[in-house]
Each structure stands twice: as C-alpha cells, then as structure tokens.
C-alpha cells in the first residue's frame, strides 16, 4: 500500500483523491489506483449518456451549441439532449439541419421504445432541441462544441467567429480528431476557455471522452468540462495536446496496416474484418469502422498525423483512401464505402 504522498493522480480524470481498487480486466484481476468519482461512474454505467443533470451538477453548463450536424455533431447533440441539457444545433444549410435533426428525434424515439429513457426524458429532449443557420444564435450559451469537417483552416476561421459571438465565460471546444487545440486557442481573445472534447463514434453510446488540454486552457475550464462528463456518465480522460492524442494515434496502425494487407492481395477487406471480429474479438473490423467514421474524415486525420510527425512513414495515408474520396465512396454517409448501404 502506498503512502498518501506516494499515491499517483487518477489516470482517468487527473483527480487527487485516489484509492486502490480491484476489477476484472480481460483475463485477470487488475488492481489500480483511481478516484472515487471515476469508480462511482464506472460502476453505474450500463450504457452511457442518460443521467439527468441539474445546473449544480454540471457546473452551470446547461445550454450547449453544436456546430456541424453530421455524424458526430448529431451524436453529440443527442448525448446532451438525453441528459436533459438544451442544444442549439448549427449547420450551413436548412435542408441539412432538417434531415439531421429528424434523425436525432428518430434516435431519441428509439431509445424511448427500448426503455433506455423515459417518455418524459424523450419529450424534454425533443423540446430542448433548436436548430439554426445563424451563428449569432449561439451567443449566450454555456458551451459550444464544433464538429465540422477535419480541415484546419475551416476550424480556425470558425473559432474566430465563435470567439466574437460568444461570452468570454463560454467554453469553446473542438471535437477535432487530430489537430492542435493550442493552435485554435492561440487565435482567440480568451484562449483559456478553449479545450478539446474528443467524442467517439457513435457519441451517444461510446463512454470514452478524450479531454485535450491545450497549452493555454485554464484549470477551471478543464475541471468544469471533466465534471460535466462525469455527471452525464461518460468516462473523461485528460490528454496532452499531441497529434491524434491517444486513441487516434494508436488507431492509425490499425487502419493503415489493414489497407496495406488488402492492397498487397493478402486478404480481402471482408476477410480482414471477419478475422478481426471472429478471432480477434473486435466489435467491428477496420473496414467496417472506416465506413462508419467516413473515409474522408479518417483520411484527413491520418494526413494530419503524418504532417505533424514530420512525414514519418508509419503515419503515411494510403492512396486507396484518396481514390475512394475522389469517387465519393465515403462510407455509410454516402451509401457506399468498402461496403454498400441501403
Ligand atoms: N466520424 C467520426 O467517427 C469522428 C470521430 C471523432 C471525431 N470526429 C471529428 O468530428 C468532426 C466532424 O466529423 P463528422 O464525421 O461528423 O463529419 P461529417 O462530414 O459527417 O459532418 C460535418 C458537418 O459539418 C457541416 N459543415 C461543413 N462546413 C461547415 C461550417 N463552415 N459551419 C458549420 N457546419 C459546417 C456539414 O454540413 C456537416 O453536417 C471532424 O473534426 C472529425 O475529425 C469524427
């Protein structure tokens, strides 16, 4: 047993009050230090993102703006709505917003039918969703998170505009998969409120949240963000602002090597997926996962890591992905990727 002085910080939330806990890992009993807060959350998780969150519990964060209503933006909006927060969803065109907000409402209805949320929660989620194509409608909110395509210049320009329309106390967050959060913060008048909140796909179901602290993020912003996610039953992990953070850096090899295996004719993409699932125990194979993520999003993420790691060959994007983008085979969102979708 370690003395109070020797105890490490919590590996999940950087909290200080850690205790030694035992849990079953994949094959053996794991003994690990983490904090009471994270323990409570882990033990209570059956599935994530439904807890009702009062203003005191969420550190005053009750109103959220989500910029970009695609795969991630829609999932992020749904996650907050299910927890009783209000969401203003912004996108560039009314038609896009109409179609994507309809999907969110359908998904919430499905959750109700499955008994995952109560009829009252579903009703308040529908009531709490607003949509807009005007950036000024995001002023006065507690948190704004961006989920626009993985294009650095687009995000930099967007944050300059968000900086101008929002209050200085509003937390500004990016869901970027790979870019430097510090670079976005450096362009703001109030850079201490900028943070990375990296959700995983599908956002309402995946518990892990990588909270990326930039060189300029202040402790209050980190604490408020972490507490919000603990409250809505996610698993926030604080990460350094390095290219790809933790998961996306590891995942590059997963995608790149599988693309090379197929390209070298060693196996078809169907076979690779089958092996990884049936023999490897993965929930999805690398090609199913790329279709879910979006070939364009995944390609841009790999390119960003390649650029940031000074063109190290292990991060080099595969030409097959580039060709699929040119052919608009972007995965599920365009109905065709490695597989076909109805
Ligand atoms: N897809 C994933 O699995 C995944 C996982 C984690 C993080 N991310 C990150 O999330 C972000 C969004 O990815 P996605 O998969 O949801 O993309 P997507 O292509 O599905 O959606 C992007 C949305 O942004 C909108 N948009 C484009 N330009 C805009 C602008 N100027 N202002 C407002 N909205 C605009 C588009 O109309 C679209 O609705 C990216 O940074 C990506 O790296 C993606």
Give the domain CATH number at 316: 1.10.1040.50
| Residue 177 counted as domain residue | yes
Measured from the Cα of 146, ligand 1's closest atom is 11
Give the domain CATH number at 106: 3.40.50.720
Q: Which two tokens stand for residue 155?
A: 């995000």
Measured from the Cα of 174, ligand 1's closest atom is 41
Q: Which two tokens stand for residue 39?
A: 């323990």
DSSP-derived 3-state class of residue 45:
coil
Q: What spacing in Å lies between the alpha carbon of 229 and ligand 1's midpoint? A: 21
Same domain, 194 and 278: no
pLDDT of residue 22: 65
Residue 326 has pLDDT above 80, yes or no: yes
Domain finish residue from 178, 209, 240: 240
Residue 49 has pLDDT above 90, yes or no: no
Residue 37 has pLDDT above 80, yes or no: no
* Under 8 Å between Cβ of 163 and 133: no
Report whether residue 70 contacts ligand 1, using a CB cutoff of 6 Å: yes
Range in 50-64, 210-224, 288-302 the model is least confident about: 50-64
Sign of CA dihedral 291, 242, 231, 47: positive
Residue 40 has pLDDT above 80, yes or no: no
Residue 15 has pLDDT above 90, yes or no: no
Residue 29 has pLDDT above 60, yes or no: no
Band (35; pLDDT cuts 50, 70, 90): confident
Cβ within 8 Å of residue 28, ≥6 positions away: none
Alpha-carbon distance 169 to 25, whole Å?
Answer: 40
Same domain, 19 and 130: no
Q: What spacing in Å lies between the alpha carbon of 73 and ligand 1's midpoint? A: 7
Range in 42-46, 70-74, 230-234, 271-275 the model is least confident about: 42-46
Cβ within 8 Å of residue 259, ≥6 positions away: 286, 318, 320, 321
Same domain, 211 and 180: yes
Same domain, 265 and 206: no
Report whether residue 65 contacts ligand 1, using a CB cutoff of 6 Å: no
Residue 47 has pLDDT above 60, yes or no: no
Residue 154 has pLDDT above 50, yes or no: yes
pLDDT of residue 27: 44
Alpha-carbon distance 282 to 274, whole Å?
Answer: 10
Report whether residue 124 contacts ligand 1, using a CB cutoff of 6 Å: no
Domain finish residue from 210, 240, 270: 240
Q: What spacing in Å lies between the alpha carbon of 192 and ligand 1's midpoint? A: 24
Range in 10-14, 150-154, 250-254 the model is least confident about: 10-14
pTM of the model: 0.86
| Residue 55 counted as domain residue | no
pLDDT digits (tens, 9 = 90+) for 90-130: 999 999 999 999 999 999 999 999 998 999 999 999 999 99
Q: Which two tokens stand for residue 8?
A: 């490490």
Same domain, 303 and 285: yes
Same domain, 208 and 268: no
Measured from the Cα of 294, ligand 1's closest atom is 1
User: In which domain, by residue range, is 20 found?
Assistant: 1-44
Instruction: Report the mean per-residue pLDDT for the chain.
Output: 91
| Residue 221 counted as domain residue | yes
Give the chain's count of helices (H) and strands (E).
12, 10
Which residue's CA is the closest to the ligand 1 atom numbered 25? 68
Q: What spacing in Å lies between the alpha carbon of 8 and ligand 1's midpoint? A: 37
Domain finish residue from 182, 216, 240: 240
| 297, 303, 331, best to mutate for ligand 1 pocket (most atoms within 8 Å of CB) | 297
Same domain, 87 and 215: yes
Closest CA to 129 of 115, 109, 149: 109
Band (7; pLDDT cuts 50, 70, 90): confident
Alpha-carbon distance 108 to 121, whole Å?
Answer: 9
Q: Which two tokens stand for residue 247?
A: 């998961």
Active site residues: 177, 198, 210, 248
Band (53; pLDDT cuts 50, 70, 90): low
Alpha-carbon distance 261 to 254, whole Å?
Answer: 11
Measured from the Cα of 178, ligand 1's closest atom is 43
The tally of domains found in the chain comes to: 3
pLDDT of residue 30: 59
Residue 82 has pLDDT above 70, yes or no: yes
| Residue 192 counted as domain residue | yes
pLDDT of residue 34: 77
| Residue 49 counted as domain residue | no
Report whether residue 144 contacts ligand 1, using a CB cutoff of 6 Å: no
Q: What spacing in Å lies between the alpha carbon of 156 and ligand 1's midpoint? A: 14
Band (145; pLDDT cuts 50, 70, 90): very high
Same domain, 303 and 171: no
| Residue 286 counted as domain residue | yes
pLDDT digits (tens, 9 = 90+) for 266-285: 999 999 999 999 998 999 99
Cβ within 8 Å of residue 313, ≥6 positions away: none
Report whether residue 320 contacts ligand 1, using a CB cutoff of 6 Å: no
Same domain, 161 and 236: yes
Same domain, 230 and 296: no
pLDDT of residue 307: 96
pLDDT of residue 51: 55
Q: Which two tokens stand for residue 86?
A: 């209000």
* Under 8 Å between Cβ of 288 and 322: no
Q: What spacing in Å lies between the alpha carbon of 300 and ligand 1's midpoint? A: 11
Same domain, 131 and 265: no
| Residue 203 counted as domain residue | yes
Same domain, 154 and 36: no
| Residue 14 counted as domain residue | yes
């Amino acid at each position: 047993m370690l003395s109070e002085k020797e105890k490490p910080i919590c590996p999940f939330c950087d909290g200080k009050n850690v205790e030694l806990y035992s849990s079953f890992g994949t094959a053996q009993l794991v003994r690990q230090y983490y904090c009471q807060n994270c323990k409570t959350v882990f033990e209570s998780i059956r599935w994530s993102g439904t807890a009702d969150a009062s203003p005191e519990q969420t550190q005053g964060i009750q109103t959220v703006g989500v910029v970009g209503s695609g795969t991630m933006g829609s999932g992020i909006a749904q996650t907050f709505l299910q927890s009783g927060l209000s969401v203003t969803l912004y996108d560039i065109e009314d038609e896009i917003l109409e179609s994507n907000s309809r999907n969110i409402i359908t998904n919430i209805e499905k959750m109700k039918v499955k008994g995952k949320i109560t009829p009252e929660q579903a009703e308040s989620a529908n009531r709490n969703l607003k949509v807009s194509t005007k950036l000024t409608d995001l002023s006065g909110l507690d948190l704004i998170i961006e989920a626009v395509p993985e294009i650095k210049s687009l995000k930099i320009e967007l944050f300059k505009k968000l900086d101008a329309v929002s209050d200085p106390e509003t937390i500004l967050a990016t869901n970027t998969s790979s870019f430097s959060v510090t670079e976005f913060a450096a362009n703001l008048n109030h850079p201490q409120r900028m943070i990375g909140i990296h959700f995983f796909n599908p956002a309402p179901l995946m518990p892990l949240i990588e909270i990326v602290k930039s060189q300029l993020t202040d402790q209050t912003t980190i604490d408020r963000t972490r507490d919000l996610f603990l409250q809505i039953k996610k698993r926030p992990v604080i990460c350094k602002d390095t290219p790809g953070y933790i998961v996306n850096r590891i995942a590059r090899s997963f995608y790149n090597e599988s693309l090379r295996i197929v390209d070298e004719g060693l196996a078809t993409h169907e076979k690779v997926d089958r092996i990884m699932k049936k023999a490897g125990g993965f929930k999805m194979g690398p090609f199913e996962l790329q279709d879910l993520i979006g070939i364009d999003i995944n390609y841009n993420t790999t390119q960003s890591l390649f650029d940031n790691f000074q063109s190290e060959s292990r991060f080099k994007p595969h030409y097959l992905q580039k060709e699929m983008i040119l052919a608009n085979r972007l995965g599920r969102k365009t109905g065709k990727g490695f597989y076909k979708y109805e």
